[in-house]
C-alpha cells in the first residue's frame, strides 16, 4: 500500500499561491522525489475558469475570473467550501494502464459514500460530472494530469454562501431544472467542515488503496 501525506491547511488560502505550490509538488512526484499529497483547504472568495469554460456563462461582469489549467468550466471557491487537491501518480492506483475516467469516478464514489454516512442521499449523473443531490450539484470536480500525476481535485459545498453562484452559470449548466446545494442546506442545519473532514478521511482508503500519513 502506497502512502499519501495529508495536509489540512488552517487558514483561508490564496488561489494563485496555492496553485504554484501544488505544481511544484506535482513536479517532485514526477521526478520520484516524494510520495503523493492530499490537501484539505478553504479559499477566500475566488471565481475560476477551467479549460472548457465559456465566457458567455458569466452573468456579473464585475467579478474577477482566474484562468486555470484544470478541466471543467467556471466555478466558485470561498469560505464554507472544502476544496481537496490530490496529487498522486495514477500508476499507483491502476498499474500500467492509468484510467482518468475511472479516477474521477472514484473521487465521486468517495464523496458519495461520505455523504451517505451523514444522511445525505447523493449520486452521480450520467450527463454531468460531479456529485448531485437530485438535480442540485453539491460537489464540483476538476482534474488535470501531468505525466499521469493528478492535480486539482474536488470542491464540496459544506456551508457555502450559495448566492455567489448567481454571478455565473455554474459548470455551464443553465436552466431551472438544475441548481447548487450544500451540506447545510440538505441537512437544514449548520454543519461544520472539520466534522465532514473526519468522515472523508475515514472513508478514503475504502476507495483508494493508500495509507494516509500526517
Tell me which residues are annotated as active site.
Answer: 171
Angle, vertex CA 140, rays to CA 137 and CA 143, nearest 5: 155
Q: Give every CB contact of residue 97 below 8 A, 6+ residues apart in sequence.
A: none
Q: Is 134 in a helix, a strand, or coil? A: coil
Continuous segment of H or E residues that includes residue 21:
helix 15-30
Using a CB cutoff of 8 Å and minimum separation of 24, what contacts does 100-105 make?
A: 100/143, 100/145, 103/143, 103/150, 104/129, 104/141, 104/143
Distance CA 96, CA 90 (A): 9
Cα→Cα distances 166→36, 59, 63, 75, 188, Å: 36, 8, 11, 11, 21
Distance CA 212, CA 103 (A): 18
Continuous segment of H or E residues that includes residue 132:
strand 131-133
Amino acid at each position: 500500500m502506497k502512502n499519501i501525506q495529508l495536509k489540512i491547511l488552517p487558514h483561508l488560502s490564496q488561489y494563485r499561491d496555492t496553485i504554484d505550490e501544488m505544481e511544484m509538488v506535482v513536479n517532485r512526484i514526477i521526478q520520484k522525489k516524494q510520495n503523493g499529497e492530499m490537501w484539505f483547504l478553504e479559499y477566500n472568495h475566488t471565481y475560476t475558469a477551467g479549460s472548457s469554460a465559456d465566457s458567455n456563462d458569466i452573468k456579473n461582469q464585475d467579478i474577477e475570473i482566474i484562468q486555470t489549467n484544470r478541466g471543467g468550466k467556471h466555478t466558485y471557491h470561498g469560505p464554507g467550501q472544502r476544496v481537496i487537491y490530490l496529487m498522486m501518480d495514477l500508476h499507483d492506483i491502476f498499474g500500467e494502464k492509468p484510467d482518468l475516467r475511472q479516477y474521477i469516478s472514484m473521487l465521486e464514489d468517495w464523496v458519495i459514500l461520505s455523504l451517505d454516512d451523514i444522511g445525505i442521499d447523493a449520486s452521480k449523473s450520467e450527463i454531468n460530472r460531479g456529485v448531485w443531490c437530485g438535480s442540485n450539484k453539491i460537489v464540483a470536480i476538476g482534474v488535470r494530469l501531468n505525466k499521469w500525476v493528478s492535480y486539482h481535485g474536488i470542491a464540496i459545498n459544506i456551508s457555502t454562501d450559495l448566492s455567489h453562484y448567481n454571478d455565473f452559470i455554474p459548470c455551464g449548466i443553465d436552466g431551472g431544472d438544475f441548481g447548487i446545494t450544500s451540506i447545510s442546506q440538505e441537512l437544514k442545519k449548520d454543519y461544520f467542515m472539520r466534522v465532514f473532514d473526519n468522515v472523508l478521511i475515514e472513508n478514503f482508503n475504502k476507495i483508494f488503496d493508500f495509507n494516509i500519513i500526517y
